[in-house]
Amino acid sequence: MTSKFQHIALIGKHQSAHAAPAMPSSKEVLERVAQLLAKEGRSIYVDEDTANTCGMKEHGILNIQEIGLRCDLAIVVGGDGTMLGFGRQLASFGVPLIGINQGRLGFITDIALNSIEQALTPMLRGEFTEDTRSLLHAQVWRQGKIVFDTLAMNDVVLNRGATSGMVEIKVDVDGHFVAKQRADGLIIATPTGSTAYALSAGGPLLYPSLPGLLMVPIAPHTFSNRPIVLPESVEIVMELVAGRDASVNFDMQSLASLTIADKVMVKRSDQQVKFLHPKGWSYFDTLRKKLHWNEGNS
């Protein structure tokens, strides 16, 4: 069976060229994947930062933009955080991603280290399940000007300061006033992010293809402030009314400090991320495995 995947980029977690003794390093895993790709007759490229970290200089070296323009597949070795970061960067190019899990959870990096060859070989030949995920577009406005503009795949989180009390947040949806909430913070999450911070804050799980956004208060002062699922077409505005040292973070990977009256505007991005999974992949299988459902049952 032929496949359209001829030019393939390898990307590793830049901070993990060396791993714990019980786990192979990113370099070892990437070289293992490269051997498989060479056997399959594919053109191999390595992300520039990955090459510098792991010392993989024997293949073509490309930066992220070059990967987006020249490659038709990217294989990412790392945890979900690694996949989130590169998913955002490659979304505008439409390059699909396959994730090999070298982290702990692996909700979106779902190929285990002990099944790389077994899973990848048929995928390279066109046997896979496609999974498209939405992104959030977020902006921080201050005195009528945009001071921060970015994408998030999991969530946008407005947080109180580490040593301060609750924040007060005015929330509007599509220009309609919702409430002033006093809480430790507020999470706006995609269905992908519903298994991340939003879940630990008491939010529901959203099926990945569901066209919705999730708004979850963090430790709200009023117990009746509950999570709510909104249509993905809305624009949500969080305005900081009160609270010291507040900030907003995006997928827990970038952060902007906030001052009183700053507004964080969040809406669904026009860009999407495309993941590829082994044939027969099921979201419910992932939930059972990662959330330890059915443990103790026969």
Catalytically active residues are 80
CA nearest neighbour of 195 among 184, 209, 211, 206: 206
H/E stretch holding 26 reads helix 26-39
CA nearest neighbour of 14 among 247, 253, 189, 194: 253
Give the CB-side neighbour count of residue 128, counting CA atoms within 13 A.
27
14 near 136, Cβ under 8 Å? no
> What is the rounded CA–CA span in Å between residue 286 and residue 205?
12
Measured in whole angstroms, how far is the alpha carbon of residue 35 from the centre of its chain?
28
> What is the rounded CA–CA span in Å between residue 33 and residue 50?
14
**Angle, helix 26-39 to helix 116-124, in steps of 10 degrees:** 40
